[in-house]
Amino acid sequence: MTDVVTDEARAGEGVTYDLVVVGGGPAGVAGALTAALAGLRVALVDSSARLGGQYFRHTAVPARAPGLDRFLRQARALSDRAEVLSRHQVWSVTREPDGDLLVHANSPEGGAVAVRGRRLLIATGAYDRPLPFPGWDLPGVLTAGGAQALLKGNGVVAGRRVVVSGTGPFLLPVATGLAAAGAKVLGVYEAGGGLGLARHPLLALGKAGEAAGYAVSLARHRVPYLTRHAVVEAHGEREVEAVTVARLGRRWNVLATRIVECDTVAVGYGFVPQIDLGVQLGCATRHDVDGSPILETDAAQRTTVPMVWAAGEPTGVGGWRLAEIEGRIAGRSIIAHRRAPGAGVEVAAGEVAGVLARRRDRWRAFGAALQQAYPVEPGWQGWLRDDTLVCRCEEVPLARIREAQELGATDARSIKLLARPGMGWCQGRICGYAVACLAGEPQQPPRRPIAQPVTLGALSDTDTPHDSAH
């Protein structure tokens, strides 16, 4: 595995790559490898120590996991044929006068690196979409993906007595993973559904094997799976000691509550696609089935901005198989573009015709069906109290958001200007969805001129391409 980049000269002094890929998950690696195998000069930039993204996150000595061996072989093949910059956090992409794209990143040593490419593939994945509730900022309350990252990437079980709550199929692998690793999983509280595991949407979608696997695993570890239930409050002084679990009505209004003692909570209400780089470059966006802003792409995975492609969750959440297929399609389209830059849609369409495009369409339909099966209902807003923090960074409670609305703030943007939710370190990544819901509007594409915090020194270096750390 290429997991350490110590020599910054490897960022490619004086090199213009045919393709720069941002993101080292299944989409990014598939796109980069497809292009590299065809002889294109490729660089891939990723924030993690090891390639894999969220789904194929693994420990330094990888454990066995479905599909992981195959992914690691792809990653090794890529490392032999392309420049892989791990531990590099991309904070912006800019366009040079000659049309080249400059991908600016923080290097692990704290310096600034710019990687120059003719084409860009955005494969930046997604992160958990949390909902606020009283006590959600107590230590021991983690996102479902956070608990999963601890386990998959570090071999650390998030807690001894764990409650899993939220909505969507992702709760199942998180709960079964924790239980198999030795945690006592006290319950999986799925806010949606109302049908239980026996009629889980995975079954309706022809994924009976997968659903049955989770059901068997939950049963073996005696983990209750309750639909129309959710954690609506966390209690504790310095860390979480118990939660209030509520039985919910159809719109997620609280019908009845009880206390469950636990030391850890894993919560997740779907995912937020990471589209900052595309928005920075002016790519058109649209709303996905669940309302998430995503990048508009055509049949060849091209965004609306020339020389910029996107694959995986930034084009709509659909899981790792869809991400990999989209990455391969993007790679083929990029190869076709290099061979015949002047050619239009026909060439690109010809390149993606057939099996790959049909598989993509099938997985997209699957992703959309899952999003439809697990909508976030508005009743969660009733779980909040006046002093419940909505924005964790700026410590903005619900009362201050309501106050801003009373002062005349009618949309999420003016609420942000008056009450400051989303103005802190995470730039609204965590609270953006909740604030949009509270404002009664669909979530807008993020306007973040800088996708990662960056030092002033790095900013002042940005006009120097390539290696400017020394």
Partner 1 sequence: MTFAITVDGRSVPVVPGQTIGAALHAAGIRSWRATRFGARPRGLFCGIGVCFDCLISVNGRAPERACLVEAAPGDEVTTS
Name the amino acid, one letter, at 189: Y
Sorted by sequence, the CB contacts under 8 Å of residue 89 that are 6+ apart come out as 47, 105, 106, 452
Tracing tokens 């015709």 back to the chain, one arrives at 353
- Residue 139 binding partner 1, by CB under 8 A: yes
- Residue 150 binding partner 1, by CB under 8 A: yes
Q: Residues 393, 409, 454, 458: which binds partner 1 (CB under 8 A)?
A: 393
Minimum CB separation from partner 1 for residue 59, in Å? 6
Q: How far apart are CA 253 and CA 463, in angstroms?
A: 53
- Residue 429 binding partner 1, by CB under 8 A: yes
Stretch that binds partner 1, among 6-14, 35-43, 152-160, 200-208 (CB under 8 A): 152-160
φ, ψ (nearest 5 deg) of residue 355: -55, -45
φ, ψ (nearest 5 deg) of residue 85: -100, 95
- Residue 141 binding partner 1, by CB under 8 A: yes
Minimum CB separation from partner 1 for residue 230, in Å? 18
Q: Which two tokens stand for residue 79?
A: 């490392």
Minimum CB separation from partner 1 for residue 24, in Å? 13
**Cβ nearer to partner 1, comparing 386 with 425:** 425
Q: How far apart are CA 164 and CA 243, in angstroms?
A: 11
Q: Residues 70, 76, 154, 410: which binds partner 1 (CB under 8 A)?
A: 154
Minimum CB separation from partner 1 for residue 123, in Å? 15
Q: Residues 13, 69, 96, 137: which binds partner 1 (CB under 8 A)?
A: 137
Q: How far apart are CA 115 and CA 43, in angstroms?
A: 8
Within 10 A of 402 (CB to CB), how many other CB atoms are there? 16
- Residue 424 binding partner 1, by CB under 8 A: yes
- Residue 59 binding partner 1, by CB under 8 A: yes
- Residue 331 binding partner 1, by CB under 8 A: no
Minimum CB separation from partner 1 for residue 38, in Å? 32
Minimum CB separation from partner 1 for residue 239, in Å? 5
- Residue 51 binding partner 1, by CB under 8 A: no
- Residue 399 binding partner 1, by CB under 8 A: no
Minimum CB separation from partner 1 for residue 177, in Å? 14
Minimum CB separation from partner 1 for residue 85, in Å? 15
- Residue 49 binding partner 1, by CB under 8 A: yes
Sorted by sequence, the CB contacts under 8 Å of residue 78 that are 6+ apart come out as 29, 32, 33, 36, 42, 44, 51, 84
- Residue 425 binding partner 1, by CB under 8 A: yes
Tracing tokens 């198999």 back to the chain, one arrives at 180
Q: How far apart are CA 41 and CA 18, in angstroms?
A: 5
Q: Which two tokens stand for residue 228?
A: 């129309």
Q: How far apart are CA 31 and CA 332, in angstroms?
A: 8
Name the amino acid, one letter, at 347: V
- Start-to-end CA distance of the chain, whole Å, equals 27
- Residue 158 binding partner 1, by CB under 8 A: yes
Minimum CB separation from partner 1 for residue 362, in Å? 28
CB 268 within 8 A of CB 174: yes
Sorted by sequence, the CB contacts under 8 Å of residue 287 that are 6+ apart come out as 293, 294, 442, 443
Q: Which residues pair with 106 in a beta bridge?
A: 89, 112
Site residues for partner 1, window 238-277 (CB under 8 A)?
238-239
**Cβ nearer to partner 1, comparing 331 with 445:** 445
- Residue 92 binding partner 1, by CB under 8 A: no
Q: Which residues pair with 194 in a beta bridge?
A: none
Minimum CB separation from partner 1 for residue 173, in Å? 15
Minimum CB separation from partner 1 for residue 182, in Å? 13
- Residue 47 binding partner 1, by CB under 8 A: yes
- Residue 320 binding partner 1, by CB under 8 A: no
Q: How far apart are CA 303 and CA 295, in angstroms?
A: 7
Q: Which two tokens stand for residue 250?
A: 């159809």
Q: Residues 89, 217, 304, 444: which binds partner 1 (CB under 8 A)?
A: 89
- Residue 426 binding partner 1, by CB under 8 A: yes
- Residue 128 binding partner 1, by CB under 8 A: yes
Tell me which residue of 436, 429, 435 sits closest to 388, measured CA to CA: 435
The binding site for partner 1 (CB under 8 A) comprises 47-50, 54, 59-61, 89, 110, 127-128, 130, 137-143, 145-150, 153-156, 158, 238-239, 392-393, 395, 424-426, 429-430, 453, 455
